[in-house]
Amino acid sequence: METYNAMRHFADSWGLRAMAVFFVGALSFTLRPGSKQIADDTAIIPLKDE
């Protein structure tokens, strides 16, 4: 039972921080300058007839 409490404490503190850092990183990666052209090029891949 002590392992459960330790894992819960870890998830409550460091797990939340890790998810917040990942979210901020993903958001900044998506909204960085120059990503619009890459996203537009990727979006039309299924429509290309090769």
Sequence-distant contacts of 29-34: CB under 8 A, at least 24 apart? none
Mean pLDDT in residue range 3-23: 90
Structure tokens of 49? Answer: 């007839």
Mean pLDDT in residue range 26-46: 90
Mean pLDDT in residue range 17-44: 92
* Contact by Cβ (8 Å): 15, 23: no
**2: confidence class by pLDDT, cuts 50, 70, 90:** confident
Structure tokens of 47? Answer: 């429509």
Mean pLDDT in residue range 20-44: 92
Q: What are phi and psi of 38, to 5 degrees?
A: -65, -40
- In this prediction the pTM is 0.62
Alpha carbon distance 15, 47 (integer Å): 40
